[in-house]
Structure 1
């Protein structure tokens, strides 16, 4: 496998700014200082990362169910049907992620984000009708580990160390509520990323008829409150070398899931860890761990460590991702309510 063609400057920027991008009127001087370059060079390098497809945008990763409603879902079908049915699922505007995963009964997995739970249910119903296949809805019940970045400076993914993007897991606020209708308008304005200009927040403010100060204050409040779980450069992990990823699901008793999650949080290579509502009898699993690695062997070794940490026999399934049909940020422009 060939290493991604990153310049040293691009690597430094990705390591430093996949989260905690400065919420200042002029962010680029701080970005540049951390990377040892000029503001103009830092801006140009981030623009090149996006243009070449190594990053998708500069902006916010929003916590599920804070600016609308969302669920993970799976389509009950045969793997031989995925090529036909995958584009049908992706055609729904509310689907923002859609992956083929290696599984005999549930090979197509997708995320639906809409304005509210009835709208999510309506989208799932349309997908079921359009495909002629049952849909399993697997809504989030608890989030244990928030989205991590991908450290490029020689450390493995998620390893503690100096790489800001991959090392920190911010503590979740005690209570994370829904964002306001006005904040959904702001999230919609940056859903494709911040403008790559010297004063990006002023450009957003002018588009919305707001002050730059107001835009910065509202973004900072959403970060502090947990609605925005990461604000920075959003990378595309496959072009950067993390070619293997697996969703591992564990069949743990309901009263043991939280304790098991605590054990798994000690494994830095687990990039996401969630509790979801099961859908028995077909899908009894409650605990979901996402693991990214540079190859399948690396991911497999992490899974072996997780099973060993459990300390007892634990039913689980491993679903490697094999094809991406759709991957975008949530489209908040679709979930807006009228703002008075």
Structure 2
């Protein structure tokens, strides 16, 4: 499959102001004992993220996702290119007051409680005590830690999911316009992933712009307006899910047995392969299944014609010979 880079003019979000803009952004590191080895993390990275959208940056381990995010936050300095955050050059202190950030592995002082770490974060932003008294309970309630046992417990007693949720709360303490999340669902069980996903959806409903890295593609497919795939430091795809995956909602089936004269009226592109009849359903799947029962045929598989984001992701990487790192 060819690269599916969608022109900005085709994006519905392109009518809104861009809050993240990168132009030919580059980053390379020197490694080795003599610093004589060069590792390129970003290659001429150009993208835009628009106000109010949820943007997912995808890629295998080592693709450069975290490097891009840290570069945008001013934690890492680029070697080339330029970028703007909320219309200002990287490193602008006023802009940092309007941004929230959850790192992949948040580290907090173990002996603080959930309430105390939020108080500490509020102090960094110089949020008045009167505002803190209202804001902290709201955030604890949003992330499901409002019960007294959780908010008074020291962080060393928190589970991975609880730490991720308190990390999300501290990222939102300053009520940011733009939120960066680095692998927010990494290492969480299904319930923890669901909770983080619901928080992201609530932020989206508030009109906040969310930029997050992830390799859990099923979650990305549920919540993102647009996605980009980064591999070996290079952006290879960017666009909405409909742009990248297609909009068809048809179904393909694999059937064992049956009357081919009947099936040809039910299936388009029908063919007999590997001992099964296969093709695209004409009409509703329910009608086909009912006719199979009358024929005594067996339904082997039923799937949407549109590929999943995971299938598309793997196709794009395999087409470029990208090897997966562990």
TM-score (norm 2): 0.26
Higher relative contact order (Cα pairs below 8 Å, separated by 6+ residues): 1
Larger Rg, first or second structure (1 or 2): 2
Judging by fraction of residues, say which structure has more strand: 2
TM-score (norm 1): 0.25
